[in-house]
C-alpha cells in the first residue's frame, strides 16, 4: 500500500463525463489499497472564460482580485470530483488551497509555496477518504487567495507529494509520456520509460512542454518520484527519477532532442574587447524586462568582440532598439537581428562521460548541409542555433543518428 | 457621512456591463462621502449552471461539496466588482464568506450565521476602501465552506449591516420597491414609501416575493433600517422600519394585499368533537414532511368537527392519502380536497386598532358575489380562501375598497 498523489489537468477534467472517468481511475487505485490525494486543475476553458470576464471589467486586472476570480475554476472541479467519487461509493473530501492550507508568499498570480499543512489531509487519509485538492492556488499569511501562475497545478501536485512524503506523484496529461523528441516532427519518436530530473529540465525548458519546469525542479529538489501518464490511454508513462550513476552507464548517451522556434537572434558586432562589455550590453536588456536565453561571446579576427544572444521573437524589435543606444555608447560597429532561426538541443546525462557526442551532432548536421550559427554546451546538453527552415530536417537526422528510435 | 451596506442580486450583476453599472452606483455613494460595504450574489444563471454540473455527476449531490461548488458563483462576482471599482479609481477589496469571516453552523446548504468578524472590514473602511463581500456564504468552525441556502445574499447584507451597525441596508432588486399589491394584477398598485417589518413579513410570506423573509426577520430583530430599491431605475424605493406607534396612527389602516395561488385546500369532515383530534389529524401530515399553511377548525351543526387546512398544490394527493388512514381511525366521515383555490390577505399594522376592517373586506367580496371558503386572522392580517377564478377580481376590488391606489 502506497501513498500516491495524482494530478489531472484541465483537459482531463474538461467535462462532467471526464470528471467521472477521473473518479473511475482514482477508484481503481483506491481499490488496490493505495492512499490517494488528487490535485485538479480548472475544467479546460474555464480559466480563459474567467480571464476574459476580468478583462471586460478592468484593462489590467488587479492581481489580488484576479486570484480571487481564477481560483474559483479549481474550486468547481474539486467539488465535482468529490461528488463523482461519492456517487461511486468512495468517501472523499475537497480542499481549496486556503483550506489545506498551502501557505504562499503574497506575490499574486505568481506566488511561491512556503509551507503545506498536512494534518487535515493525514486525518482524512487515515479515515479512508480520498483527498481532493485544488491545484494552482494557495493563501498568504494574511488570508488572501494567491495563485501559483498558470499551469501551477503540477507544482501543487509535487509540493503535496513532497509534504506528504508520497511514494509517487503521477501527473496525468494528454500525452502518454516523455518522448525522445516531438512525435509530430519525427514519426519514430519513442516514449522514454525513464528520464532523469536534469534531462527532463533540459527537455522541458527547450520546448518539450510536457510538465511545468518549476514542478520538475521541485520534484528533483525534494526527491519526489514523478511519473507522467496519459489521462486517456492506459500505460506506464515516463518515470522521472534521480540520476543513479550505475543505471546511467547502461542508458543511451543521448535521451532526447528538444527544439524551439520561438526565439530570435540578436548580435552586436565590433564591440571593444574590454572587461565589463558583456554586462554593459546585457544589463539594459534585462532592465527592459526582456528575457534572454542563449548567450555566446567570441573574439573576432580584428580583436573586437561579437556578442550574440537569443530572445523571444516578440521581443526582437524592442531588444534591437535598446541595443542601438548601447552600441553607440560602446562604439560598436552594428546591431543585427534575425528571427528566422531555430534552436535544437540534444540532451542526455550520459554525454558527460562520452567524448564524441558533440562531433557526432555537428557532423550529422554538416551531412545535411545545415550551417550552425551558434553553439553552446552544458553538462548534459548541446545546443545549436540553425536557420529555421532546416529545423525538421535537423531533428529527424539527429534522432536517427543517435539511434533514439531504437 | 453614513455607513451603508448595499446588496445587489444576480440580475443586477448578470453581465460585466451590469457589474460596471453597479460600480458606478457604488462610486456615486462613495463620492458623497459614505463608507460602503457591498454584498453581491452570483451572476444570474451561474448558480443554476453549477447546480446542473453537480447533478450531472451525482444524483443527490453531497451537501458539503455542493457548498464548495456554488460558493464560487459569488466569489467570481466580488472579484469582478472590485476590478470594476479599481478601474474607476476607487480602492476596493473583496472578501469571501470565509475570509470575512462569516461564521455559521455546519448545516450545509442552509447554514445559519452565528458571528461576523468585522475587524478586517473596519480596517478597510478606515483606509477608504470599498469592501465587497460574497453573499450567501460563510464558513463553519472547522473551516468548511457553507451556504445560507438560495437567496441568502439578502441575509448576508442584513447581517453585515447589523454587525457593522450600518446606518442603512439597501437591497437592490429588479423592482423599485414594495407595492400595495402585485402591479401585474392591479394596474393602480402603488409603491409604498414605508412599511413596517411586521407588514413586510406578512406581505413576503404571502407571495410578494421582494425580499427573502429570513432577511426581513433578521433586520427586524437587529433593528437594521432596510430599503428596497431598483438596480435599474433611480428612486427612493421602500423603507422597511420599526413600527413607531405614533407614526402608525397617521398611516393607512391597510398597507397592502398579498395573494397566492399555489395552495390547495383539504378538509376532513365529521370528526368527533374531542380533545386531541386536531393533533391526530395534523401530526401525520407533518410526519410526511408536508408543510401546512392556513388551518381552520370549526364545529358543525351535528356537533362533529370539520378541520380544513391548506398545503402546496403539489402535496395535495400525498396529503389526501395520509388523511385517508387518519379518517378511518377517527371514524371521520370523509376527506375532500380542492386545488382550485386562491388565498388573499390584507395586511396592515393599522388594523389592530381599527374595527370594521374585516367586515369591509367581507362586504367588498360579497358585493362581487365572491364566496369566502375559509377565514383566518392575525394581529396585522386577515386572510381568506376563495375560488381561484375570482382571484384577480377580488384583489382589484379590495385594492380599490381600501383606497390603496390613492
The chain A residue lying nearest B53, using CA atoms, is A16
Contacts of B86 in chain A (CB under 8 A): 58, 62, 65
pLDDT over 70, % of chain A: 94
Long-range contacts of A337-341 (CB under 8 A, 24+ apart): A337/A264, A337/A265, A337/A266, A337/A267, A338/A264, A338/A265, A338/A266, A339/A264, A339/A265, A339/A313, A340/A387, A340/A388, A340/A389, A341/A263, A341/A264, A341/A265, A341/A310, A341/A373, A341/A385, A341/A386, A341/A387, A341/A388
CATH class of A3-249: alpha beta
A74 neighbourhood in chain B, CB within 8 Å: none
Between B243 and A98, the higher pLDDT residue: A98
Q: For residues A347 and A384, is the Cβ–Cβ distance under 8 A?
A: no
Cβ–Cβ gap B65/A83 under 8 Å:
yes
Phi, psi of A47 (to 5 degrees): -60, -40
B173 is in an annotated binding site: yes
Residue contact A53–B16, C-beta within 8 A:
yes
Spans of chain B below 70 pLDDT: 150-151, 204-209, 243-252, 352-355
Which pLDDT belongs to residue B150? 58
- Pairs across A and B, CB distance < 8 A: 108
**pLDDT at B5 (0 to 100):** 98
Name the closest residue on chain A to residue B77, using Cα atoms.
A69
| pLDDT tens per residue, range A335-354 | 999 999 999 999 988 776 66
d(CA A345, CA A205): 10
- Percentages of chain B per state (helix, strand, coil), in multiples of 5: 40, 30, 30
Calculate the dihedral angle through the C-alpha atoms of A301, A306, A310, A315, rounding to the nearest 10 degrees: -140
Q: What is the pLDDT of residue B159?
A: 94
d(CA B400, CA A169): 74
Give B-chain residues touching A40 at CB under 8 angstroms: none
- Flag whether the ipTM exceeds 0.90: no
3-state secondary structure of B385: strand
Choose, out of A42, A56, A57, A89, the residue to mutate when testing the contact with B (most B CBs < 10 Å).
A57
User: Is 80 exceeded by the pLDDT of residue A388?
Assistant: yes
pLDDT of residue A246: 47
Please tell me the predicted confidence (pLDDT) of residue A352: 66
User: Would you say residue A98 has pLDDT above 70?
Assistant: yes
Q: What is the pLDDT of residue B352?
A: 66
Please give the Cα distance from A385 to A264 (Å, whole number): 10
- Indicate if the pLDDT at residue A231 is higher than 90: no
Looking at the partner chain, which of B53, B87, B99 has a beta carbon nearest the beta carbon of A58?
Answer: B87
Taking an 8 Å cut-off on Cβ atoms, the answer to whether A87 and B50 are in contact is no
Q: How far is Cα A72 from Cα A87, in angstroms, rounded to an integer?
A: 23
How far apart (Å, rounded) are the C-alpha atoms in residues B39 and B74?
Answer: 9
Q: Distance (Å) from the C-alpha of residue A17 to the closest C-alpha of chain B?
A: 8
Distance from CA of A370 to the nearest CA of B (A): 52
Q: Are the C-beta atoms of B146 and B106 separated by less than 8 Å? A: yes
Instruction: Please state, in angstroms and rounded to a whole number, the distance separating the CA atoms of residues A102 and B29.
Output: 38
CATH architecture assignment, domain B3-248:
3-Layer(aba) Sandwich (3.40)
In degrees and rounded to multiples of 5, residue B6 shows phi and psi of -115, 140
Distances (CA, A) of B316 to A73, B9, B264, B313, B333: 43, 33, 6, 5, 19
The answer to whether the beta carbons of residues B38 and A79 sit under 8 Å apart is: no
A94–B20 CB contact, under 8 Å: no
Helix (H) or strand (E) holding A246, with range, is: helix A245-250
Neighbouring-strand partners of residue A310:
A265
Residue ranges of domains in chain A: 3-249
* A71–B65 C-beta distance less than 8 A: no
Model pLDDT, residue B51: 95
Range A369-396 average pLDDT: 90
Confidence category of residue A266, pLDDT binned at 50, 70, 90: very high
| pLDDT the model gives residue A244 | 61
Residues of chain B neighbouring A80 (CB-CB closer than 8 A): 53-54, 57, 65, 69
Position A279 confidence tier, pLDDT thresholds 50, 70, 90? confident
Is residue B336 a known part of a binding site?
A: no
- Average of per-residue pLDDT across A270-280: 81
B86 vs A50: CB contact, 8 Å cut-off?
no
pLDDT tens digit sequence for A60-97: 999 999 999 999 999 999 999 999 999 999 999 999 99
Residues of A with CB under 8 A from a CB of B: 16, 19-20, 50, 53-54, 56-59, 61-62, 64-66, 68-69, 71-72, 75-76, 78-80, 82-84, 86-87, 93-94, 96, 98-99, 143, 145
Residue A291 clears pLDDT 70, i.e. is over it: yes
pLDDT surpassing 90 at residue A182: no
Among residues A194, A202, A279, which one has the least CA distance to residue A240? A194
DSSP conformation class of B73 = H
Torsion (CA) B179, B185, B187, B189 in degrees, nearest 10: -20
CB-CB contact of A178 with A199 (8 Å): no
Residue B122's pLDDT is 96
Proportion of chain A above pLDDT 90, given as a percent:
59
| Closest CB to B69 among A68, A69, A76 | A76
Q: What is the chain A residue with the closest CA to B69?
A: A76
Task: Give the whole-angstrom CA distance, residue A87 versus residue B57.
Answer: 7
Mean residue pLDDT of chain A comes to: 89
Residues of chain A contacting B19 with CB distance shorter than 8 Å:
57
Amino acid at each position: 500500500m502506497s501513498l500516491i498523489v495524482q494530478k489531472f489537468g484541465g483537459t482531463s477534467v474538461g467535462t462532467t463525463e471526464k470528471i467521472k472517468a477521473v473518479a473511475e481511475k482514482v477508484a481503481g487505485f483506491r481499490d488496490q489499497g493505495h492512499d490517494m490525494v488528487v490535485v485538479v486543475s480548472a475544467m479546460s476553458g474555464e480559466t480563459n472564460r474567467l480571464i476574459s470576464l476580468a478583462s471586460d471589467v478592468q484593462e489590467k486586472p488587479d492581481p489580488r482580485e484576479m486570484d480571487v476570480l481564477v481560483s474559483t475554476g479549481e474550486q468547481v472541479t474539486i467539488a465535482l470530483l468529490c461528488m463523482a467519487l461519492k456517487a461511486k461509493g468512495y468517501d472523499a473530501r475537497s480542499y481549496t488551497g486556503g483550506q489545506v492550507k498551502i501557505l504562499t508568499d503574497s506575490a499574486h498570480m505568481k506566488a511561491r509555496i512556503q509551507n503545506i499543512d498536512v494534518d487535515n489531509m493525514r486525518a482524512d487519509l487515515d479515515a479512508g477518504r480520498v483527498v481532493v485538492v485544488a491545484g494552482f492556488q494557495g493563501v498568504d499569511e494574511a488570508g488572501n487567495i494567491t495563485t501559483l501562475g498558470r499551469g501551477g497545478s503540477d507544482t501543487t501536485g509535487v509540493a503535496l507529494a513532497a509534504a506528504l512524503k508520497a511514494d509517487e506523484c503521477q501527473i496525468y496529461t494528454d500525452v502518454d509520456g516523455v518522448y525522445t523528441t516531438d512525435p509530430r516532427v519525427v514519426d519514430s519518436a519513442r516514449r522514454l520509460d525513464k528520464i532523469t530530473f536534469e534531462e527532463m529540465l533540459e527537455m522541458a525548458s527547450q520546448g518539450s512542454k510536457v510538465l511545468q519546469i518549476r514542478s520538475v525542479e521541485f520534484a528533483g529538489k525534494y526527491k519526489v518520484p514523478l511519473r507522467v501518464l496519459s489521462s486517456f490511454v492506459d500505460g506506464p508513462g515516463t518515470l522521472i527519477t534521480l540520476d543513479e550513476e550505475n543505471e546511467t552507464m547502461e542508458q543511451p548517451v543521448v535521451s532526447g532532442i528538444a527544439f524551439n522556434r520561438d526565439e530570435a537572434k540578436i548580435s552586436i558586432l565590433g564591440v571593444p574587447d574590454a572587461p565589463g562589455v558583456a554586462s554593459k550590453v546585457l544589463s539594459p536588456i534585462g532592465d527592459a524586462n526582456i528575457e534572454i536565453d542563449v548567450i555566446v561571446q567570441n573574439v573576432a579576427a580584428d580583436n573586437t568582440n561579437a556578442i550574440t544572444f537569443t530572445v523571444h521573437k516578440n521581443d526582437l524589435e524592442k531588444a534591437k532598439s535598446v541595443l542601438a543606444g548601447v552600441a553607440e555608447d560602446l562604439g560598436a560597429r552594428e546591431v543585427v537581428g534575425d528571427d528566422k532561426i531555430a534552436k535544437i538541443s540534444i540532451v542526455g546525462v550520459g554525454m558527460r562521460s562520452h567524448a564524441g557526442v558533440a562531433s557526432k551532432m555537428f557532423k550529422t548536421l554538416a551531412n545535411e548541409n545545415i550551417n550552425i550559427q551558434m553553439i553552446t554546451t552544458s553538462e548534459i546538453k548541446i545546443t545549436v542555433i540553425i536557420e529555421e527552415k532546416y529545423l525538421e530536417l535537423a531533428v529527424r537526422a539527429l534522432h536517427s543518428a543517435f539511434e533514439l528510435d531504437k
